[in-house]
Amino acid sequence: MKALIEYVAKSLVERPAEVEVTEETVADGSILIKLAAAPQDMGRIIGKQGRNAKAMRTLLNAKATREQKRVSLLILE
């Protein structure tokens, strides 16, 4: 799942080398994926009215459902 978010995020930004994606397991067994990028690229990741962020979360939830896991995406500023 980390690779999916990393691929999508790097495709959107102008500085793909500065995209960082980390994956953590939370106490309740769910997975938290944190996405960080250059400050200049945050607008591209979030998108107009949050459409890109919502699309990434939708893709992530679809993959998590297939694997029977719970996942959330946190976009860091």
Can you give the pTM of this predicted structure?
0.89
Give the total number of structural domains in the chain.
1
pLDDT in single tens digits along all 77 residues of the chain? 999 999 999 999 999 999 999 999 998 889 999 999 999 999 999 999 999 999 999 999 999 999 999 999 999 98
CA distance 30 to 16: 27
Alpha helices in the chain (DSSP H): 2-12, 42-46, 51-66
CATH label of the domain that carries residue 48 = 3.30.300.20
Torsion of CA 76, 23, 4, 77, to 10 degrees: 0
CA distance 26 to 6: 20
Domain residue limits at 69: 2-75
